[in-house]
Amino acid sequence: MPRPGFVLEVDRSTPPILFHHGESLRLEKLPAGRTRVLYPGEPLEALDDPEGAIRHALDHPLGDSEPLHALLQPGMKLTICFDDISLPLPPMRRPDIRQRVIEAVLDQAAAAGVDDVHIVAALALHRRMTEAELRHAVGDRVYDAFAPHGLLYNHDAEDPDNLAFLGTTPHGEEVEINKRAAESDLVVYVNINLVSMDGGHKSTATGLASYRSLRHHHNVSTMRRSTSFMDRHSSELHSSNWRMGKVLRDAGVKIFQIETTLNNDTFGTSGPMAVLQKREWEWSARDRASFIAMKGGLDRLPARARRKIFHAWQAPYGLTSVQAGEVEAVHEATTANVFRQQLVEVEGQTDILTMGLPYICPYNVNSVMNPILVMCLGLGYFFNMYRRRPLVREGGVVIMSHPTPWEFHPVHHPSYIDFFEQALADTTAPPEIEARYEKQFAEDEWYRHLYRTSYAYHGVHPFYMWYWGCHGLAHAGKVIVVGGEPRSVRRLGFTAASTLQDALAMAEDVVGRHATITHLHNPPLVMADVT
Amino acid sequence: MAGLPSAVSRYLPRLPFPFSAPTVPRGVELPPRKPRSGADYDTAWARRYPARLARAALVETVGRPAVAALARPEVHGLDRLDPLVEAGDPVIFAANHHSHVDTPVMLTAVPEPWRHRLFVGAAADYFFRTALTSAVSALAIGAIPIERSRVSRRSADRAAALIDDGWSMLIFPEGGRSPDGWGQPFRGGAAYLALRCRVPVVPVHIDGTGKILRKGRKLPSPATARVTFGHPLVPADGTDSRRFGAVVEQAVAALADEAVTDWWQARRRAHAGDSPALTGPTAPAWRRAWALGDPDRRRTRQRRRWPEV
């Protein structure tokens, strides 16, 4: 029986606590008597028979939907869309759950005599997936059957000939999505809900959309009113996507949503990384030896080798649930299953929130975690891992641990380089950045070309990363980066500290002495339900 | 420093975590530790490739020469397993038990494809008494703990899971070594597992190992052992483990008869139901010992003239 997550009150007997630190690790002694640590739950039991569970979900849909086999007919146009490389994190071991689901859907389509099938990676403005990444996601069987005939491809949000405008919401939000999906008799969306933010109408309304559509919810105003992204009912981002979902439905786009949830088995229960998901006081002699060896080795390796080692890791995630059918009914069941794994009740807010940022975020899979992504991961994702109230009080201090090197992947993140050099050098205030620079970057022909033909994130993507953290930025009184490269940390508008103790001393200037501290022991993922 | 005596470790500076064991925060309950010995000892590690490789190396480089030197085993009846060789499906080898030498003799006598995918049902109260003996038993002979003092579902489940996973089992259904040179009644474990996992039982008779190292002796003395494999026994439809256990015991008794007479006589007596029982005559101890008819010369020679005081 896996143990649920819990809140540890740190005392003098508490050993140093693990902090992820980019492609390295730290052990930090936290002050006793005023610190608590939020630990994730142990991985839930994975389903014994994933294929059986998928078949059951397809045959017993939720909400107002017929079983998949009843929706499939000869001569119809079927489009299967799936989440891109940004999910799950880290990538899961083969077979990826998308492969299992897509194969089950295709089996039924073949049995029903459906000939016209397209498979689309719903990547919105993310970089295109490489052949290896597509093969990993959908499996070799699917890839070899569809990709050579041009029937498996990445969504292109800048291809005017393959976008369809479907209308506007009552709030004036334009809805423009992939034309093939819009004109299909049935869209089957295959989703991985690693966190509660994923899925629902956001899958189609964001994953298959164009910049024209995305700008209505990926903006500073919407992001600041999304408190938090992880709680759909308090997220303006989701409200906007739900409105767009209604436009899609009214325009006749029929969606059969398949959502899956994974357990917390990020680093495995055996092997060299297993120590990273154990509680420190339960580390055995072997765990300690592997930690010492891992840290010693990592600290001596060049950054490129460290990155290669970490990005080669594939998580042994287990499937905890799969549900299919009508979008909203499916998403309600899915979020309940995500919360079952991740949600931990926490009493009250804290003055200082600490977090160790790992080597990976949704936008640097097989890539470099540049300073903008550090900000996005800390203030965008980890800060938002809450329901009801943020973990840190308004005006409190956020302390993130990450080396924050001034380093960018030139192929994946070309517009990030200019954003960092040009926009952030001017101002870090999200509204000003949005007003002064967004349009220029979003419509830049060179970035557009790189997005469509190379493997670059869209020109506007670094703006979205900055907006993603703007709620956290506005909420926190100060942001300190422990171990961060001072130059790049200053450019982000944050303060660099050499050690956690220095950072806590700096934080006292803002929140006073004897401030309460909460550490988010993440990953594996944990989400706070703050009362 | 956990391994150092407290008198020594008291004067040594305590290394910081993670170089020393962590302290436990107050109010936190530690999960129960995995048992390091006994019936609940987890032997899964002994079936991973590094352990299998080490065991194969041990058996071939230490076990086989030692067995050859001590027991010079003659192996008979391997041709009876030919129908099963090609499929290589798991089987249960059920043998009589005289000596600790029986296990290494069997580990070297069992043919491929079963030899290196074999586990041994071993007494939890003996082979898994301490952490060290548990680890050595699991590694060296691929043992899993079997509770012999009571019927244990856990032991059966563990063995059945391994058989279902493609592993073959060596079991001594008598539940322990012979105390007096005669066999003991077979217990139902092998038959139960065969019925549960739907695998055949291969009856095996081992003769002569009691002379090498019988129960109560500390040092072995060389002698010749004989291992006879019988025809695989497949449980008949509708049979139960008690009846099938009796069939297995009779098959081993027939093999024992074959070892001391010849195949034809043994077959005739087996069909007539007259195979001599493994358990020997029902008589006072001296007559049972007399009936064995093969005194242990070495022990006679070494017997002390005067009792130790």
The complex's ipTM? Answer: 0.86
Helix (H, G, I), strand (E, B) or coil at B39: coil
Q: Given B2, B22, B30, which is nearest A15 (Cβ)?
A: B22
Q: Given B17, B25, B30, which is nearest A10 (Cβ)?
A: B25
- B25 and A27 in contact by Cβ < 8 A? no
Percent of chain B with pLDDT over 70: 90
Q: Say if residues B100 and B177 touch (Cβ distance below 8 Å).
A: yes
Q: How far apart are CA A45 and CA B33, in angstroms?
A: 20
Q: How far apart are CA A293 and CA A270, in angstroms?
A: 16
- A8 and B25 in contact by Cβ < 8 A? yes
Q: ∠ CA A56-A57-A60 to the nearest 5 degrees?
A: 80
Q: How far apart are CA A380 and CA A227, in angstroms?
A: 11
Of chain A residues 290-349, which have a CB less than 8 A from chain B?
291-292
- B23 and A16 in contact by Cβ < 8 A? no
Q: Which residues contact B28 (CB under 8 A, 6 or more apart)?
A: A8, A281
- Rounded to a whole number, what is the distance in Å from the CA of A446 to chain B's nearest CA? 50
Q: How far apart are CA A157 and CA B301, in angstroms?
A: 95
Outline where A66-210 has alpha helix (H): 68-71, 97-112, 131-138, 140-146, 179-182, 201-207
| A&B contacts, CB < 8 Å | 46
Per-residue CA distances from B211 to B95, B217, B287, B298 (Å): 17, 10, 19, 9
Say what the pLDDT of residue B1 is: 46
Whether A270 has its CB under 8 Å from any CB of chain B: the answer is no
Percent of chain A with pLDDT over 70: 100
Nearest CA in chain B to A26: B18
- B22 and A27 in contact by Cβ < 8 A? no
**Closest C-alpha to B205, from B135, B296, B138, B266:** B266
Nearest CA in chain A to B19: A288
> What is the maximum alpha-carbon separation in chain B?
78
Say what the pLDDT of residue B304 is: 60
Nearest CA in chain B to A37: B25
Q: Which residues of A touch B30 (CB under 8 A)?
A: 281-282
Q: Mean pLDDT across the stretch A113-135?
A: 97
Say what the pLDDT of residue B281 is: 81
Nearest CA in chain B to A1: B31
Say what the pLDDT of residue B4 is: 52
Q: Domain for residue B167, yes or no?
A: yes
Start-to-end CA span in chain B (Å): 44
- Rounded to a whole number, what is the distance in Å from the CA of A517 to chain B's nearest CA? 17
Q: Which residues contact A347 (CB under 8 A, 6 or more apart)?
A: A7, A530, A531
Q: Which residues of A touch B14 (CB under 8 A)?
A: none
Whether A27 has its CB under 8 Å from any CB of chain B: the answer is yes
Residue A389: Cβ within 10 Å count: 18
- Residue-wise pLDDT for A230-277, tens only, equals 999 999 999 999 999 999 999 999 999 999 999 999 999 888 899 999
Q: Which amino acid is at A165?
A: F
- Flag whether pLDDT at A174 surpasses 90: yes
Nearest 10 degrees: CA dihedral of A371, A375, A381, A384? Answer: 170
Per-residue CA distances from B209 to B104, B186, B233 (Å): 11, 19, 25
- Domain limits for position B49: 44-290
Q: Mean pLDDT across the stretch A284-295?
A: 94
Say what the pLDDT of residue A106 is: 95
Q: Mean pLDDT across the stretch B189-207?
A: 93
Half-sphere exposure of A273 (CA within 13 A, CB side): 18
- B21 and A291 in contact by Cβ < 8 A? no
Q: Mean pLDDT across the stretch B24-34?
A: 86
Nearest CA in chain A to B45: A270
Mean pLDDT for chain B?
86
Q: Domain for residue B72, yes or no?
A: yes
> Position of tokens 């998580």?
A315
Q: Provide the number of structural domains found in chain B.
A: 1
Q: Domain for residue B19, yes or no?
A: no
Half-sphere exposure of A78 (CA within 13 A, CB side): 25
- A291 and B18 in contact by Cβ < 8 A? yes
Q: Domain for residue B23, yes or no?
A: no
- Flag whether pLDDT at A478 surpasses 90: yes
- Flag whether pLDDT at B78 surpasses 70: yes
Q: Say if residues A217 and A236 touch (Cβ distance below 8 Å).
A: yes
Q: Domain for residue B267, yes or no?
A: yes
Q: Say if residues A59 and A334 touch (Cβ distance below 8 Å).
A: no
Residue A414: Cβ within 10 Å count: 21
- Rounded to a whole number, what is the distance in Å from the CA of A113 to chain B's nearest CA? 38
Q: Which residues of A touch B48 (CB under 8 A)?
A: none
Q: How far apart are CA A311 and CA A372, in angstroms?
A: 19
Q: What is the pTM of this model?
A: 0.79
Cis amide linkage into residue B155, ω under 30° from 0: no
Q: Domain for residue B35, yes or no?
A: no
The CATH number assigned to the domain holding B173 equals 3.40.1130.10
Per-residue CA distances from A443 to A369, A459, A466, B44 (Å): 25, 8, 18, 59
* Paired tokens of A439: 């349009």
Q: Mean pLDDT across the stretch B292-305?
A: 54
Whether A9 has its CB under 8 Å from any CB of chain B: the answer is yes
Q: How far apart are CA A232 and CA A200, in angstroms?
A: 9
Mean pLDDT for chain A?
96
Q: ∠ CA A423-A426-A427 to the nearest 5 degrees?
A: 85
Helix (H, G, I), strand (E, B) or coil at A472: helix
- Flag whether pLDDT at A515 surpasses 80: yes
The strand pairing partners of B143, in sequence order, are B120
Whether A156 has its CB under 8 Å from any CB of chain B: the answer is no
Q: What is the DSSP string of A249-289?
A: HHTT--EEEEEEEE-S-SS-SSSTTGGGGS-GGG--HHHHH
The strand pairing partners of A192, in sequence order, are A260
- B17 and A16 in contact by Cβ < 8 A? yes
Q: How far apart are CA A405 and CA A328, in angstroms?
A: 41
Residue A11: Cβ within 10 Å count: 14
Q: Domain for residue B299, yes or no?
A: no
Say what the pLDDT of residue B155 is: 85
Residue B77's region, left for phi above 0, alpha for psi from -120 to 50, else beta, is left
Nearest CA in chain B to A32: B25
Mutate to test the interface with A, among B17, B33, B49 (most CBs of A within 10 A): B17
- B22 and A9 in contact by Cβ < 8 A? no
- B17 and A11 in contact by Cβ < 8 A? no
Q: What is the DSSP string of A410-469?
A: TTT-HHHHHIIIIIHHH---HHHHHHHHHHHHHT-HHHHHHHHHSSPPPTTHHHHHHHHT
Say what the pLDDT of residue B40 is: 87
Whether B50 has its CB under 8 Å from any CB of chain A: the answer is no
- A285 and B28 in contact by Cβ < 8 A? no
Could you tell me the pLDDT band of residue B292, with boundaries at 50, 70 and 90? Answer: confident
Domains (ranges, CATH) in chain A?
A: 6-42+342-530 (3.90.226.30), 50-262 (3.40.50.11440)
Cis amide linkage into residue A170, ω under 30° from 0: no
Of chain B residues 23-42, which have a CB less than 8 A from chain A?
23-28, 30-31
Q: Which residues of B touch A13 (CB under 8 A)?
A: 23-26
Helix (H) or strand (E) holding B146: strand B143-146
Q: Which amino acid is at A110?
A: A
Q: Mean pLDDT across the stretch A494-502?
A: 97
Q: Domain for residue B24, yes or no?
A: no
- Rounded to a whole number, what is the distance in Å from the CA of B49 to chain A's nearest CA? 14
Whether A280 has its CB under 8 Å from any CB of chain B: the answer is yes
Q: How far apart are CA A123 and CA A207, in angstroms?
A: 5
Q: Given A3, A14, A291, which is nearest B25 (Cβ)?
A: A14
Mutate to test the interface with A, among B28, B47, B48 (most CBs of A within 10 A): B28
Nearest CA in chain A to B28: A8
Q: How far apart are CA B83 and CA B233, in angstroms?
A: 12
Q: Mean pLDDT across the stretch B180-186?
A: 87
Q: Say if residues B198 and B206 touch (Cβ distance below 8 Å).
A: no
